[in-house]
């Protein structure tokens, strides 16, 4: 199991970005969360099998969301074994 944290910048708040990511996540065997940051970025944390993470990232990049994204920063991070489901944080 791997964990990954991604930061999306661009026009990613106020456009349904978090809700669309949650819908995409439902198609994968991942847990995690997505939230708006005060600086205008969106933070995505996902964990699961490496191939599931990569496929989900590709689907986000290939979706209509890509039109809102200026850049993406990604880093592998520690997993949280207590985390269940996929949530939109407020």
CB atoms inside a 10 Å sphere around CB 13: 16
Query: Could you say which of 5, 35, 36, 87 is catalytic?
Result: 36
Is 22 marked active-site?
no
In sequence order, what DSSP letters do the residues of 4-56 get, joined into one string?
A: EEEEEEES-SSSSHHHHHHHHHTTSSEEEEEEE-TTS-EEEEEEE-HHHHHHH
Is 18 marked active-site?
yes
76 neighbors 60 (Cβ within 8 angstroms): no
d(CA 74, CA 8): 9
Query: Could you say which of 18, 35, 87, 90 is catalytic?
Result: 18
Q: Which residues form the catalytic set? A: 18, 36
């Amino acid at each position: 199991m791997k964990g990954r944290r991604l930061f999306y910048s661009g026009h990613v708040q106020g456009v349904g970005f978090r809700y669309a990511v949650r819908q995409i996540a439902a198609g994968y065997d991942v847990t995690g969360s997505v939230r708006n940051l005060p600086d205008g970025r969106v933070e995505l944390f996902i964990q699961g099998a490496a191939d599931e993470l990569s496929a989900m990232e590709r689907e986000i990049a290939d979706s209509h969301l890509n039109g809102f994204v200026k850049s993406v920063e990604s880093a592998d991070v520690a997993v949280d074994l207590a985390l269940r489901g996929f949530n939109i944080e407020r």
